[in-house]
Amino acid sequence: MVDEEKEKVRFVTPDWVKPPPPVMEVRQMRNQFILGLYSLMKAVQVHGADNVALDQSISQYLRLINHLILSEGGITLGITDEGILLNDRKIRGKPGNNNVFKSFMRNLIGLRIRKLEIRNPLDERELKELIFLLVALKEGDENNPRYLMKEFSARKINSITVDSVELKEEALPQTGERRRYARELYFAAIGIVREIMEEVADGKAFNMRKTKRLMQQIAAFFMEDEYILLGLAMIKDYGQYVYNHSVNVAIYSIALGLQLELPKKNLVQLGIASLFHDIGKIRIPQSILNKSGQLTADEWKVIQKHPIYGVETIVEANGWNETTARMIETAFEHHMKEDLTGYPKSAEKRELTLFGKIIAIGDFYDNLVRSPSYQLFPVFSDRTTGFLLERGGRDFDPTLVKLFVHMIGSYPIGSLVMLGNGEMGIVVAPNKDVELFDRPKVLRIHFQDGEYKRRGVVDLAEIDDKTGKHRNAIAKPLDPNEYQLNVAALLFYG
């Protein structure tokens, strides 16, 4: 019945069908479309929905946009890297309203809206619904376009569609700049984890757009050069444990996902889920998180609640979408163990998700190689991989553990070693040949003028043409704390 009444109204010639004054050119109408929509959104934000002046403004704005819709066959508003497009024409504001155009563009980007399309003239109810829905959206929520389309359908608004923001990827730097760029990505990730955890603790929403963009850059970097970022994961900052640990777990997880040949979209989702697998710890008292001694039974029970807190926090802060679902699964599962003897306890038998299994290994490994608090630098041991393999099938998926161990090598990147000729070196890349597992590439270093300096990389898989034997080998691993040697600084700043 309602639909029939609405169709009848469509055939009555309302006031807005009358053409605007002749001086109103099409170009001016396009500008006024943006300025008017922005003004109406601000009016609702300031004065609320029940306002007499708003009704009058809606009526005037309808006359403008419906004439534009009829004369141009519809309106397509697009947000691009070049600016605002209206029906494929770039819209430029005048000097007096440039700031309004920029603010409007930022608003739509923040709401994750790339394109707004109006195919047919609107009535007052439909326009009001559009404005109220836009104003009510949560900034940064990538689920906004999907939510809007669902609401349009429920309210029988069939002339409007929206689409999401597309993030542009940046080209990778040249080889000579890779170390600097990798450092920037690494510390940007730590900054994002800190920023978002603090904001979520204050009741704010996730900035998913910023996080997704960074993860796209990291995933692209991994697909070009996985070893530099794997090396950065040796950084173990005890003053920023949760943030630093979260980024390292993301690096290990993406690297393992790459070994599984996951599509880039899934690598990005895996990276985001890894960054926030421990977000539930924002609800754990700092006195427990930072305790240097052994936890009491009661304190351990509190720690074991962080996966549940993580699920609750993600749902409250970010709504529901595909990426959020991945985050929820991994926050819940990363301590459950392959045989489900971990925590939280599952009420019924369940198959852990692939992301949950991957992040569980990265989480465990980063803590395994994290040196005790009294040591400044992490210690990598050739026994570490054996310890991981022993837990395959019980704590971790045995296939994924084997793949992970092969990825990091017998001597993980960042290991300080003594070579057979007495030189010291730092492992910079594993050997991909299984038979040469213990023969990685090593950066030779020496102590000169009061500091350690680089001497070039040697491939321990190289064969001496005269003897037919390997030129060099690792004699034993070393503890960088005994030499006060900051391996990460030497690798990435030396």
* Per-residue pLDDT reduced to its tens digit, 39-60: 888 888 877 666 666 778 888 8
When mean pLDDT is compared across 244-253, 303-312, 340-349, the lowest value belongs to: 340-349
**CB hemisphere CA count around 242 (13 angstroms):** 22
> What are 451's two structure tokens?
């500091």
What is the pLDDT confidence band of residue 423, given thresholds at 50, 70 and 90? very high
Query: 104-155 pLDDT, tens per residue?
Result: 888 888 888 888 999 888 998 999 899 999 988 887 777 888 889 889 989 9
Question: Around 244, how many Cα atoms within 13 Å sit in the side-chain half-sphere?
Answer: 13
Mean local confidence (pLDDT), 382-395: 86
Q: What is the token pair recorded at 114? A: 């790339």
Which tokens is 337 given? 């163990």
What the block records as the tokens of 105 is 């563009």
Q: 157 is written with which tokens?
A: 């608004």
Asked whether the predicted pLDDT for residue 337 surpasses 90, the reply is yes
**Residue 60: enclosing H or E segment and its boundaries?**
helix 52-72
Position 16 scores a pLDDT of 41
What pLDDT does 413 receive? 87
pLDDT digits (tens, 9 = 90+) for 243-276: 999 999 999 999 999 999 898 889 999 999 999 9
What would the two tokens of residue 144 be?
């906004």
pLDDT for the residue 51: 67
Judged by phi (left if over 0) then psi (alpha if -120 to 50, else beta), residue 25 lies in: beta
Question: What's the CA gap between 326 and 217, in Å, rounded?
Answer: 19
Question: What confidence score (pLDDT) does residue 32 get?
Answer: 85
Average pLDDT score, the chain: 83
Determine the average pLDDT of the residues in 434-452.
89
CA–CA separation, 249 and 69 (whole Å) = 51
The whole-number pLDDT of residue 166 equals 53
Is the pLDDT at 11 greater than 80? The verdict is: no
Q: Per residue in 57-100, pLDDT tens?
A: 888 888 888 888 887 888 888 887 667 888 877 777 666 677 78
Task: Report yes or no: 243 and 193 within 8 Å, Cβ to Cβ.
Answer: yes
Full set of structural domains in the chain with CATH:
2-164 (no CATH), 175-408 (1.10.3210.10), 416-492 (no CATH)
pLDDT of residue 331: 96
Q: Nearest Cα to 232, choosing from 206, 252, 257, 212?
A: 252
Q: Is the pLDDT of residue 21 over 60?
A: no
Cβ pair 337, 357 in contact under 8 A: no
Answer whether 0.85 is exceeded by the pTM. Answer: no
| Coil vs helix vs strand at 366 | helix
DSSP-derived 3-state class of residue 390: helix
Per DSSP, 392 falls in state B
The model's confidence at residue 494, banded by pLDDT at 50, 70 and 90, is low
Q: Check pLDDT > 60 for residue 486.
A: yes
**Predicted local distance difference test score (pLDDT) of residue 26:** 66
Characterise 479 by phi-psi region: left (phi > 0), alpha (psi -120 to 50), beta (else): beta
pLDDT band at residue 233 using 50, 70 and 90 as cut-offs: confident
pLDDT recorded at residue 492: 75
Q: Strand runs (DSSP E) across 58-170, as ranges? A: 75-80, 83-86, 89-90, 113-118, 160-164
Distance (Å, whole) CA 161 – CA 163: 7
Location of structure tokens 């790339």: 114
Residue 13 has pLDDT above 50, yes or no: no
Among the residue ranges 24-28, 205-209, 247-251, 355-359, the one predicted with the least confidence is 24-28
**Which residues are paired to 118 by β-bridges?**
75, 160
449: left (phi over 0), alpha (psi -120 to 50) or beta: left
Task: Assess whether pLDDT exceeds 50 at residue 241.
Answer: yes
Identify the pLDDT of residue 209.
79
Q: Are 460 and 473 in contact (CB under 8 A)?
A: yes
Compute the C-alpha angle 72/24/163, nearest 5°.
40
DSSP class of 396: B
CB burial of residue 76 (10 Å; 0-12, 13-18, 19+): middle
Please give the residue that has the higher pLDDT: either 256 or 175: 256
Residue 237 has φ and ψ, to the nearest 5°, of -90, 110
Residue 264 CB partners (closer than 8 Å, separation 6+): 216, 219, 220, 223
Please give the structure tokens belonging to residue 242.
Answer: 């949760």
Please give the average per-residue pLDDT across 211-226, as a whole number: 88
- pLDDT at 381 exceeding the cut of 70: no
The reported pLDDT for the residue numbered 9 is 36
Contacts of 260 (CB under 8 A, 6+ apart): 354, 403
Per-residue CA distances from 187 to 17, 290, 415 (Å): 56, 22, 21
pLDDT at 276 (0 to 100): 95
Closest by CA position to 166, among listed 115, 121, 103, 220? 115
Q: Please state, for a pLDDT cut of 70, what percent of the chain lies above it.
A: 86
φ, ψ at 422 (rounded to 5°): 95, -10
Burial string for 24-42 (b: 16+ CB within 10 Å, else e) reads eeeeebbbbbbbbbbebbe
The CA distance from 222 to 235, in Å, is 18
100-109: pLDDT as tens digits? 887 888 888 8
Query: Which one is predicted more confidently, 20 or 412?
Result: 412
Task: Classify residue 186 as exposed, middle or buried by CB count within 10 Å of its CB (0-12, 13-18, 19+).
Answer: buried
Confidence of residue 348 (pLDDT cuts 50, 70, 90): confident
Strand order from edge to edge, sheet including 113-118: 89-90, 83-86, 75-80, 113-118, 160-164
